[in-house]
Amino acid sequence: MSRPALAYRKYSVIAAVAIREKSAYLASYAARYLTYGLFVFVFSRIWAAVYAGSASIAGYTREMSTWYFIVAELPIFSFSAFFARVSEELKNGQIAYRLARPYGFIPASFAERVGPALLDLAVFGAVGFALGFALAGPPPVPAGLSFAVAPALALSLVLSACLQFFLQMSLAMTAFRLEENDAFYWIYQKLALVVGTLIPIEFLPDAARALARWTPFPAISWSPARILVAFEPREALSILGVQAAWVLAAALLSSAVFAAGRRHVVVNGG
Amino acid sequence: MRFASTFRFLGRAFAVNVKAVLEYRVNFFLQVFGMMLNNAAFAVFWKVLIDRTGGVGGYGFTDIMFVWAVSSTSFGLAHVVAGNIRSISRMVREGELDVYLLQPRDVWLNVVCSRTVVSAWGDFAYGFIVLALMPGVGLGRWLVFLAIIPAAALVFAAAFSAAETLAFWLGDSQGISGALQEFLLSFSLYPETIFEPGMRWIFYTLVPSAFVAYVPLAAWRSLDWGAVGVVWAAALAWLIITRALFRAGLKRYESGNKMGARI
């Protein structure tokens, strides 16, 4: 078997085991699905009140804003747990055990974390879309283009998962050098929430919007949400291209942080 | 005398809890900072939205910030003083109440006050910071705020632990008690007027968001001390209900013979 085929097989087995483990306890995550559903409901009421006096704000109608929120929250609810697990592995010494195994630390972590997160995404997506239809009717997709929207949205969400993973890995691996690194993640998490999740970046003041476009945060939530609510083929391609570029940059960053950090690992005892 | 003794006990429990969390100072300050940052993210959201729209459901930015201030500080106070209000269900299920039953103190009070939640200190501080930064908050409004906080904290503590005591009857009630708590918290942080009139009765009964956010806002807007009294009356009613539920539930409690010690 060739090396790439072997690697593919190895990491897909890791992902499959992690997905099986997650699916066995899916019901125990009910509280998180409920929280997401509650959030969607509350925000649909906010948008109903906001749009009582105007048909459109910054180019978004009430239906667009409701659907925007439903999709923008998916990467936040589904892909936010990468940091804590990796950071904990580094702090409690589990990393020493993992480094000795015959796989790459970052690719194995990717398979182990992103696989189950995509299962989570499917459940949150089902909850969100059911609520969306009930609260705002069908998504505002242009007639005849729904065949293109679905794969573009799916690809954008997968890229968002990859981006969240590599960015959170980079932050988590600061634990190689620092004892307390949680504050970095909190700042990252709140920036992701403000820049493109709770509201579309088009709502931000001009200067803040211009600044936001130079950061990776819009590629997390704004990109998939924008693809669903304002689909236009050329813009969608550009959004996906920008997301892919950020994924590549974040992957390189995480490799650099790992290479610099692993030199500081000291293993005591066994 | 009983009141004095209870307050002395609360003071001692609080002092021990504070000492325990300050053992890990960096972690303590990080968690406090993180919680304030979390709340501030929503302040940015409301600022942007209200600058665009002029108001949401009749609430201006100041109204929203007051609702966040009062909810956050009272939620924080409830968890700072009574950090176990959301752990009762787990403690009942795992048979952890045995150790409290042997002690010569009120069981409910002893259980809920035996821990403090570190991140809640950030919530507690957040309301004061918001109010201090808000323009035009005179002495009268500060007094209304300070008079409401302990009552609203009691509502939070009593309602959360009432939901948790369902464990005495249902066994594993974490799902339903978690949902009730999530509803209370979520509905308290948004304008009452965005919800349909048909569902607002819930906020004055089963999920008492009205007494931790909406009635306090009415009191604060028009310096209405009568509304402050309403919040206190609701707090006492919830306290009586919760204690009655806990006492009734305790009769059904079965020891798991779990060994434990409180040091």
Phi/psi zone of residue A35: left (φ > 0), alpha (ψ -120 to 50 degrees), beta? alpha
Closest CA to B93 of B175, B17, B157: B175
| Residue B251, min C-alpha distance to chain A (Å) | 29
Instruction: Check residue B8 and report its DSSP letter.
Output: H
pTM: 0.85
The verdict on a CB contact (< 8 Å) between A194 and B30 is: no
Burial A67-104, CB ≥16 within 10 A → b, else e: bbbbbbbbbbbbbbbbbeebbebbeeeebbeeeeeebb
Which residues in chain A are contacts of B194 at CB distance < 8 A? 42, 45-46, 48-49
Mean pLDDT of A20-44: 82
Q: B194, A62 in Cβ contact below 8 A?
A: no
At B122 the pLDDT is 87
Q: Specify burial of residue B144 (Cβ count, 10 A radius: 0-12, 13-18, 19+).
A: buried
Position B176 scores a pLDDT of 77
User: Diameter of chain A by CA atoms?
Assistant: 67
Residues on chain B touching A58 (C-beta within 8 angstroms): 52
Whether residues A205 and B41 touch (CB distance < 8 A) is answered with no
User: What's the confidence (pLDDT) of residue B139?
Assistant: 95
Q: Which residues contact B142 (CB under 8 A, 6 or more apart)?
A: B131
Residue A118 corresponds to which tokens in the numbers above? 């995509």
- Give ipTM to 2 decimals: 0.81
- Give phi and psi for B56, each to the nearest 5: -130, 115
Name A110's Cβ contacts closer than 8 Å, sequence gap at least 6.
A11, A165
CA dihedral A37, A43, A44, A49 (to 10 degrees): 160
How far does A7 lie from chain B, in Å, by closest CA? Answer: 39
How would you classify residue B137: left for phi > 0, otherwise alpha for psi between -120 and 50, otherwise beta?
beta
Q: Where are the domains of chain B?
A: 2-250
- Give residue A270's pLDDT: 52
Cβ atoms of residues A71 and A124 within 8 Å = no
CA–CA separation, A211 and A186 (whole Å):
20
Smallest Cβ–Cβ distance between B194 and the set A34, A39, A45 belongs to A45
The answer to whether the CB of B36 falls within 8 A of the CB of B126 is yes
Is A183 in contact with B34 (Cβ distance < 8 A)? yes
**Residue showing tokens 């249902």:** B170
Q: What does the buried/exposed string (b/e) look like for B28-39 if buried means 16 or more CB atoms within 10 Å of the residue's CB?
A: bbbbbbbbbbbb
Question: Given A35, A49, A198, which is nearest B57 (Cβ)?
Answer: A49
Contact A187 B37 (CB under 8 A): yes
Q: What is the pLDDT of residue B19?
A: 82
User: In chain B, which residues have their Cβ closer than 8 Å to the Cβ of A175?
Assistant: none
Can you read off the two tokens belonging to residue A146?
């729904």
**What is residue B260's predicted lDDT score, i.e. its pLDDT?**
63
Contact B48 A42 (CB under 8 A): no
Q: What is the pLDDT of residue B237?
A: 97
Q: Which residues of B touch A222 (CB under 8 A)?
A: none
Alpha helices in A173-198 (DSSP H): 182-194
Please report, in tens digits, the pLDDT of each residue of chain B (263 residues total): 577 887 888 888 888 888 887 777 777 777 778 778 878 888 999 999 999 888 898 899 999 999 999 999 999 999 999 999 988 988 888 888 888 888 888 899 999 998 888 888 888 999 999 999 998 899 999 999 999 999 999 999 999 999 999 889 887 777 777 788 888 988 899 999 999 888 889 999 989 999 999 999 999 999 999 999 999 999 999 999 999 999 999 998 887 666 666 65
Q: What is the dihedral of CA B230, B236, B242, B243, to 10 degrees?
A: -170
Q: With a CB-CB cutoff of 8 Å, which residues 135-164 of chain B face chain A?
A: none
Contact between B53 and A60 (Cβ < 8 Å): no
User: Which residues in B lie closer than 8 A to residue A186 (C-beta atoms)?
Assistant: 33-34, 37-38
Q: Which residue has the higher pLDDT, B96 or A214?
A: A214
Residue A268 DSSP label: -
Contact between chains at B45 and A57 (C-beta distance less than 8 A): no
Q: Give me the residue from B31, B33, B190 closest to A42, CB to CB.
A: B190
B37 and A48 within 8 Å at the Cβ level: the answer is no
Give φ, ψ of A57 to 5 degrees: -125, 125
Contact residues, chain A to chain B, C-beta under 8 Å: 30-31, 34-35, 38-39, 42, 45-46, 48-50, 53-54, 57-58, 179-180, 182-183, 186-187, 190, 193-194, 198-199, 203-205
Across-strand partners of A60?
A57
8 Å CB contact of B57 and A34:
no
Per CB-CB distance under 8 Å, the chain B contacts of A48 are 194
User: A165 vs chain B: nearest CA distance in angstroms?
Assistant: 21
Question: In chain A, what residues touch B48 (CB-CB under 8 Å)?
Answer: 199, 203-205
Hunting for tokens 């005892």 — which residue is that?
Answer: A269
pLDDT band at A265 (very low <50, low <70, confident <90, very high): confident
CB contact, 8 Å: B199 with chain A? Answer: no
For chain B positions 167-196, those within 8 Å of chain A (CB to CB) are 174-175, 178-179, 182-183, 186-187, 190-191, 193-195
- pLDDT, tens digit, 9 for 90 and up, residues A105-149: 899 999 988 988 999 999 999 999 999 999 999 999 888 888 899
Give the C-alpha separation, B17 to B19, whole Å. 5
- Cα B133 to Cα B16, B34, B127: the distances in Å are 32, 19, 10
- Give me chain A's average pLDDT, please: 89
Residues of A in contact with B40 (CB under 8 A): 190
Nearest to B194 among A46, A183, A186 (CB): A46
pLDDT of residue A76: 93
